[in-house]
Amino acid sequence: MNVREKINQEMIPVHVAIIMDGNGRWARKRGIARTMGHEKGVDAVRETVEAATELGIKYLTLYAFSTENWNRPKYEIAALMKLLVRSVNKEKKTFQENNIRLTTIGDLSNLPSRSHRELHKAIEETSANTGLTLILALSYSSRWEIIEAARKIAQQTLSGTIKPDQINAELFSTFLTTSSIPDPELLIRTSGEFRVSNFLLWQIAYTELYFTPTLWPDFTREEFYQAILDYQGRERRFGFTSEQIESSKKKSTTKIG
């Protein structure tokens, strides 16, 4: 039985997030420019989006450009921005054909105006699609997002719209860029690094983490399936005991039956 056949369709995660890492090392190993690693990384993006769509995953968030990435050499930033817009424009037709909605999280105001404009166009054109929501994290960092949320809550508290004792996790979440998106059940990071690098820190409180040594350009649909399968083998307890989880499963089966 291949990996795809082992996946339980009843237990597909609703939201998968990915830290696509290792493009630079992939290129260095071949003695070619880092930007070639990013170019090859786009093929892995395409394959992953296809696999996610086929599995019926509802949300896929890709860490495409972090706030910290602005510190990279200017030529690499320019190449990444160009590649991003080119790839989105090239894939727009496929997004429509496959009912994929494109959206972003992050501070897009920092993007070059052309990239910003083109991305907005693609977001608008795909906004009515109801299949997979593909979320590109661009100029995104979790601390930026949390500080922005705190600032807005502080302003609304000062103006009296929010009372301090109304501030809880649920309210806080509504001020994050992901307010309309459920938290990811699974976070994948490639390239053998065991870090979360300022990505969705609030949202991954109970997320299962999957780390692989594969460099992002080498990431395939089989490895994506493997991550899903691995996730399906985990017991998610959310702070409860195994016994509590088992007994609540039995209760819900009884109810259904």
List the catalytic residues: 21, 69
DSSP character at residue 208: E
**Contacting ligand FPP within 200-239 (CB under 6 A):** 216
CB closer to ligand FPP, 191 vs 203? 191
Q: Does 69 bind ligand FPP (CB under 6 A)?
A: yes
What gap in Å lies between CA 118 and CA 86, rounded to an integer?
9
Which residue's Cβ has the minimum distance to ligand FPP?
24
Of the candidates 159, 137, 135, 54, which has an alpha carbon nearest to the alpha carbon of residue 98? 54
Strand order from edge to edge, sheet including 59-66: 101-105, 133-140, 59-66, 15-19, 186-189, 208-211
Smallest distance, Å, CB 40 to ligand FPP?
8
Interface with ligand FPP (CB under 6 A), residue from 23, 48, 67, 139: 23
Interface with ligand FPP (CB under 6 A), residue from 18, 51, 64, 81: 64
Residues in CB range of 225: below 8 A, 6 or more apart: 3, 4, 7, 51
Q: Are 85 and 118 in contact (CB under 8 A)?
A: yes
CB closer to ligand FPP, 77 vs 209? 77
Q: Does 62 bind ligand FPP (CB under 6 A)?
A: yes
Q: Does 136 bind ligand FPP (CB under 6 A)?
A: yes
What gap in Å lies between CA 33 and CA 29, rounded to an integer?
10
**Contacting ligand FPP within 79-108 (CB under 6 A):** 83-84, 87
Q: Does 42 bind ligand FPP (CB under 6 A)?
A: yes
Mapped onto helix, strand or coil, the DSSP state of residue 253 is helix
Binding site for ligand FPP (CB under 6 A): 20-25, 38, 41-42, 45, 62, 64, 69, 83-84, 87, 136, 216
